Structure 1
Amino acid sequence: EDWASHQILDWCRDETVNRGQSPNDVDTFSVYYNDCEAPWIMCRHKDSSVSKQQIIDTFGRLPVGIREHVRHVGVWGSLEYAGFMSGLNVAFTSSFFNIWVVIHETMHAVDADAFRHFGSPFSSTDMWKDAYNQDSRVPADNSHSSWAEHFADIAPHTIWNRNVPGGLEAVHPHWREVGNSIDLLTWAFGDENLTPGG
């Protein structure tokens, strides 16, 4: 449901103004999915090459167990990065808005919010570091930059492994080289949170 043209979420306004852009160029809307009674509030800058419906559909592909850790979603024509998470809000540059990047940035919110019983962020715990050290590889060069980036890089592989028939083994015979991290994320976060309907 669309907000009135003069209404904008504070976070979306701040992110827009901080980039020297006009809040009047941002559409704000509330999105309800069938698996949750509460809405997500989203915003889209007019320079975004991604449509409102694409934002809704792509974010909606994530299991609710992941989505529930995100407050708001925004897409702009250009940010300094492909995307980022701040205060459990996730923002994206439209040219990088795809399911892989959406999972990555959303899982930064999961890392910060979902593991209070283990320690938050989970990527800073000894458990996570031990799993990383037991693996012989990382999923991306970016994984070396921080524990949080490693966590977010492992997440799409973990979700793929739980949801695509044949899992990672069907597409990458050496997937166990990052298997300790995948196994830990699956166990700690819960299989039910990694699959739709969880």
Structure 2
Amino acid sequence: MKYSQVAAALCLFATSMAQPWHSMVAYPDLSTFFGQRIWDSSVWTPNTVTQWPAGTLPASCASQMQARGCSASHVQVYNVTYSDCARPWVFCRCDYAPVSIGRTADIFGRMPVHMRSMVRHPMIVPNPDGQCCCAAPDDGDLMVAGDCPIETFAHEVSHLIDNRGDVFGEDFSSKSTFVNALAADTCSISNYGNTNGRHEEFAEMGVVALYNVNTNLLPAVDSSATTGCFSNQLSAIKTKFGSQFYAYGGTCVNRQPDSLTQPATKRVRVKRENLVGRAGWCRYKQD
């Protein structure tokens, strides 16, 4: 199945399209150029999945699920332990979400462990658009609706890297290193990154960095673009974050504490504990 990003109103926080950064785009749709390549070059990490007994769940799961119409009584909770980290990730899944815990755990585990370490709770949430792939990070949690590919996970985790990988709460994409790199380049990385703000350009570049850091390869750019037209952005991200987050190997480090456990019967107050790292929902169409 092919996934492609819809270039209009993808993130629900956006009220209008930003002015394009450049007239030239290297890869109009990243999934077309990188989807299969990233999958083929990814490293599968063995995992074990253990479901929690019914009755309790992490507080952030209760809040995020309730906000999306899934009550706590419908939330399944799992410990997913990967071979490269002794501490499990606590996943939450709405029991009527269309994607299984096994598939989501496998795709999440194909990201480098240091990318995974940025995520507190992966959540499989109800699909708001039926068959769409939609995803968002919020307060360190990663919410995914629909059958999303690895590049979607990498894009969303790159938002967390952008916002927390350098100085917590300060977007690297808004700092002079990245701002100047984008200005010095002659193209944006994708149609989506070109028209939805620097934070989305960074997240799209994060997908490219994941592939390039681990293969030292790049696919040929679109016929309308020039080879090397995004080299300054890629260099900035690789220099700052390449070995720290995007390279395979190592073990989990600097993970956030899990959200506090609460009874499933506890009344949920829908709120966000911390707006840091919230990029908004991104929608991806499935063809």
TM-score, reference length from structure 2? 0.63
Q: Secondary structure at the match of 1:172?
A: coil
Q: Which residue of 1 aligns with 2:29?
A: none
Partners of 1:128 and 1:55 in 2: how far apart?
Answer: 31
Letter of the 1:177 partner, please give it: C
Count of matched residue positions in the alignment of Structure 1 and Structure 2: 194
Could you list the per-position Cα deviations for residues 110-169 of structure 1 after superposition, in whole angstroms to 9, with x for gaps in the alignment?
11211129x8221111111111111211122221312211111111111111223x610x
Q: Secondary structure at the match of 1:24?
A: helix
Structure 2 gaps of 5+ residues are 1-49, 251-287
Contact 1:135 1:178 in 2 (8 A): yes
1:174-189 paired onto structure 2 within 5 Å? 174-189=226-241
Partners of 2:165 and 2:105 in 1: how far apart?
Answer: 23
Q: Which residue of 2 aligns with 1:141?
A: 191
Letter of the 1:75 partner, please give it: I
CA 124–79 in structure 1, closer or farther in 2 if over 3 Å, else same = farther
Partners of 1:93 and 1:46 in 2: how far apart?
Answer: 12
Letter of the 1:129 partner, please give it: V
Q: Which residue of 1 aligns with 2:172?
A: 122
1:63-142 paired onto structure 2 within 5 Å? 63-79=112-128, 82-95=134-147, 97-116=148-167, 120-142=170-192
Partners of 1:145 and 1:59 in 2: how far apart?
Answer: 25
Partners of 1:195 and 1:47 in 2: how far apart?
Answer: 35
Deviates more, 1:64-73 or 1:170-179: 170-179
Q: Secondary structure at the match of 1:176?
A: coil
Partners of 1:94 and 1:171 in 2: how far apart?
Answer: 30
Deviates more, 1:147-156 or 1:11-20: 11-20
Structure with the higher fraction of residues in helix conformation: 1
Percent identical among aligned pairs is 25
Contact 1:62 1:103 in 2 (8 A): yes
RMSD in angstroms over aligned alpha carbons? Answer: 2.1
- The structure 2 residue matched to 1:9, chosen from 41, 53, 58, is 58
Contact 2:126 2:145 in 1 (8 A): yes
Structure number, greater radius of gyration:
2
Q: Secondary structure at the match of 2:157?
A: helix
Q: Which residue of 2 aligns with 1:194?
A: 246
Query: How many angstroms does 1:45 deviate by?
Result: 1.2
CA 53–176 in structure 1, closer or farther in 2 if over 3 Å, else same = same
Query: How many angstroms does 1:190 deviate by?
Result: 3.2
Contact 1:79 1:92 in 2 (8 A): no
Query: How many angstroms does 1:90 deviate by?
Result: 0.9
CA 159–195 in structure 1, closer or farther in 2 if over 3 Å, else same = same
Letter of the 1:68 partner, please give it: S
TM-score, reference length from structure 1? 0.89
